[in-house]
Amino acid sequence: MTDRHPLWDQTAERSIVGAVVADDRCIADVAAIVQPEDFRYAPHREIFAYALKLHARGEPVDLVTLGNAVRQAGHTRLLGEIAIDVPGAANVEAYARVVADWSRRRAVVSACQKAIDTAGRTESGELAADLASRLEAASERTIGESLNWHGVITRMVEEVEQAANVDDDGVTGVRTGIPMIDGALGGLCRQRLIVLAARPSIGKTALANQIAVNAARDGVPGGICSLEMGEAELGARAMAYHCRANFTRLLRGRGDALDAMVRGMRQGDPKTWPLHLDTSTYSLAGIEARITSWKRNHDIRFAIVDHIGLIEVEGNVSTYDRVSLVSRRLKKLAKRLDIAIIAVAQLNRALEKERRKPTLADLRDSGNIEQDIDVGVFLHVDPDDLEQQPTRVHIGVLKNRTGRRGWAKPLMFDGACQRFFEPTHYDDEDLR
């Protein structure tokens, strides 16, 4: 920022500090609008941070207590001057909104400046996606929406009424088209982060794509960010499932598979599905921007990210910290956009050596996913069943904030046409 355009309001910042000293009863109202990082002038920022710490400990905030707290930082004289200039707390919330507004303006300028600084060494699409994500973040409120209890109960009643109007199966979210999963989860419910986890080659991508196709065939808009496969392969997998065609033979242009695809497309034109795909964005900021764009332009109700281990973040961070950041931001994105997000993840290699079903602990080497997710769906195939076609796949709902948990009856996976289905009957072996 230049002296000519400093992008802050000194009077507003000083007025907040003075108001807090004059009447500490206003601190909670001010903190609902601004936080210390919103202050442009460092001493103001530090004084306000100290005031919040005193308030959090239940101690009074006045010229004496706050003066003692900021003495080591060298702000006692400044605090005294402000206390003389600002004798009361009148209009402090208006001043807080001014400071918050200038903070957002600086964030916008910072985002644009970073784009300018990296323009010469960043691919144009990634540059635009990163800028869009930063601008979106800059436009958000520092503190989330506050509701009184009347608003809370009103929203709860709306949710209950919506649930009462659905079919008897109790599915209130986007239907996956797989009754066992819909029954356990209630569908893909909004604001939830759902992890779909398995070892490689078990069928987790096929299951995610099947869910997307089923929802799209019902007219539900959604999006897929695929970091592992190209559009041709994903399209072939979707057509193999939709048309009951052999996936491998379809990719190789074999006549029987092509005939099956033609027949299947007559039963519902896939070109009309409200499904959107991105196979070229790898950065976390870009993925956030893409999903936000889909929500704004197409009103998507769910998004699939496959898979989160391949997402790139800025900075030289450990794998643990990288995946922790990804899961945390995807959870926030699901809440902010009011959609369900399915994050595909890989489980620890130790499962194959120990020949056991996975547990939530097998996500621990993948950052804080275990804490961030709302639902954890795990796929497991017994080693003795790996060569069987179709393959029996055990489905475990090992975390579920609003429903039942545990290992359900297995599904069958027909890899040839990328299809999961429930068997017509279960024998005793299936229930192990």
What pLDDT sits at residue 123?
82
**Alpha carbon distance 352, 357 (integer Å):** 9
Q: What Rg do the C-alpha atoms of the chain give, in angstroms?
A: 27
What pLDDT sits at residue 159?
72
- Asked if residue 16 lies in contact with residue 27, where contact means CB atoms within 8 angstroms, the answer is no
What global pTM score does this model have? Answer: 0.70
Residues of the chain with pLDDT under 50: 1-2, 427-432
pLDDT tens digit sequence for 43-81: 999 999 999 999 888 889 999 999 999 999 999 999 999
What pLDDT sits at residue 1?
47
Q: What pairs with residue 375 in β-bridges?
A: 194, 400
Cα 358-362-367 angle, rounded to 5 deg: 150
- Judge residue 208's burial from the number of C-beta atoms within 10 Å of its C-beta, 0-12 exposed, 13-18 middle, 19 or more buried: buried
Question: CATH 3.40.50.300 in the chain, residues?
Answer: 174-431
What are the backbone angles phi and psi of residue 144, rounded to the nearest 5°?
-70, 175
**Alpha carbon distance 158, 122 (integer Å):** 46
pLDDT tens digit sequence for 369-380: 888 899 999 999
What pLDDT sits at residue 165?
67
Fold of the CATH domain 174-431? Rossmann fold (3.40.50)
Question: CATH 1.10.860.10 in the chain, residues?
Answer: 10-139
Q: Which homologous superfamily does the CATH classification assign to the domain defined by 10-139?
A: DNAb Helicase; Chain A (1.10.860.10)
What pLDDT sits at residue 163?
64
